[in-house]
Amino acid sequence: MAQETVSNAELLAEASELAPTRQSSLWKDAWRRLVKNKLAVIGMIIIATFFLVAIFAPIIAPYGEAEVVAPELRLAKPSWNFPMGLDQNGRDMFSRMVYGARVSLLVGVVAQLIVVGIGVPLGAIAGFFSGRVDNAIMRTVDVFYAIPQLLLVLLLVNMLGPGMKNIFIAIGITGWVTMARLVRGVMLSNREQEYIKAARVAGASNGYIIMRHMLPNSLTPIVVALTFGIPQAIFIEASLSFVGVGIRPPQPSWGQMVGTGQQYIQSVQHLMLFPCLAIALTMLAFTFFGDGLRDALDVRMNA
């Protein structure tokens, strides 16, 4: 009898020792799988560089974001002093590229925060309560889906006026639908799981179940959707700025630099080449990383 108690206590102790490692093992395992994926690591390195450049832009860039360095050398090709050349106003392209990274990063991150802020709660509510609430939310989602996002963003930015803040808003209020749909789907499939039923039987409130049980279990698809949403937002900003309705000059943005460069394409090409390569590289890095993360977390998505 006494012996049995001891062994039970031992078992309990062992279990409690195991418990914390178990809890973190999903993310730890995912990380281990992620760093084994070469492309994902390359993507991560590029993204980290991109973040560092964006954050430390004033230290890295030799000149200001709109500083006219040498007006007499306008459109000068890349040289030792100006590794990416000068633009049509004699501004240093390299400095503008560095500050452009900052704009892209801000748009990507802030717009996605808005998307998550609207999409996750609405999706969770729709998926959890179903019925009339679900119907109302999902019909709204359907309408948004009927208009291509870029078109709607164009309309909105045109209404609100150009500038970074309005781009955040426009991408945020058009982009939440994908997130809401995703979260709703996950919620629907989780709702019938045994542990939710158990929580309900134990008397947990709806809010508690959503916050403590269902959202944490929906986290992986949300994280993966985010890694694809950030480049999507960066791409939309670049497209808007490319056609001249995005970031207002003189603040630089890669898309805007490509758009301006198009006017000088016959004589000089470095105005377009560098921002184009930067956009392509950023998109590529996020795809590498997103693909790797999706595989590492073993999330199934239809996209």
Long-range contacts of 1-5, Cβ-Cβ distance < 8 Å, separation of 24 or more: none
Rounded to an integer, what distance in angstroms lies between the CA atom of residue 297 and that of residue 290? 10
Residue among 88, 184, 169, 101 at smallest CA distance from 136? 184
Q: Which stretch binds another protein (CB under 8 A): 181-189, 191-199, 219-227, 264-272?
A: 264-272
Q: Report 8-67 residues binding another protein (CB under 8 A).
A: 39
Name the residue with tokens 């999903």. 26
272: amino acid identity, one letter: M
Rounded to an integer, what distance in angstroms lies between the CA atom of residue 190 and that of residue 297? 17
Q: 231, 237, 260, 297: which one contacts another protein (CB under 8 A)?
A: 231
Q: 41, 106, 164, 276: which one contacts another protein (CB under 8 A)?
A: 276
Q: Which stretch binds another protein (CB under 8 A): 4-12, 86-94, 98-106, 259-267?
A: 259-267
Rounded to an integer, what distance in angstroms lies between the CA atom of residue 272 and that of residue 68? 19
Q: 44, 258, 296, 297: which one contacts another protein (CB under 8 A)?
A: 258
61 near 95, Cβ under 8 Å? yes
Query: 91 pairs with which residues across the strands?
Result: 68
Could you tell me which residues come within 8 angstroms of residue 185 by beta carbon, excluding any fewer than 6 positions away? 127
Helix axes 38-55, 93-129, angle to 10 degrees: 110
Q: Does 273 bind another protein (CB under 8 A)?
A: yes
Q: Does 298 bind another protein (CB under 8 A)?
A: no
Name the residue with tokens 């209404």. 159
Q: 28, 243, 263, 298: which one contacts another protein (CB under 8 A)?
A: 243
Could you tell me which residues come within 8 angstroms of residue 101 by beta carbon, excluding any fewer than 6 positions away? 50, 53, 54, 57, 254, 278
Q: Which is nearer to another protein, 123 or 290 (CB)?
A: 290
Q: CB 272 → another protein: shortest distance, Å?
A: 6
Q: Does 299 bind another protein (CB under 8 A)?
A: no
Q: Does 297 bind another protein (CB under 8 A)?
A: no
Number of residues that bind another protein (CB under 8 A): 40
**Contact pattern for another protein over residues 172 through 211, marking x by CB under 8 A:** ----------------------------------------
Q: CB 169 → another protein: shortest distance, Å?
A: 13
Q: 86, 210, 233, 238: which one contacts another protein (CB under 8 A)?
A: 238
Q: 159, 192, 194, 207: which one contacts another protein (CB under 8 A)?
A: 159
Rounded to an integer, what distance in angstroms lies between the CA atom of residue 258 and that of residue 243? 9
Q: 64, 223, 287, 299: which one contacts another protein (CB under 8 A)?
A: 287
Rounded to an integer, what distance in angstroms lies between the CA atom of residue 262 and that of residue 126? 46
**Which tokens belong to 103?**
């704009």
Q: CB 303 → another protein: shortest distance, Å?
A: 8
Q: What is the DSSP letter of 211?
A: I
Q: Report 103-142 residues binding another protein (CB under 8 A).
A: 142
Q: Which residues bind another protein (CB under 8 A)?
A: 39, 142-143, 146-152, 154-156, 158-159, 231, 235, 238-239, 242-245, 258, 262, 265-266, 269, 272-273, 276, 279-280, 283-284, 286-288, 291, 302
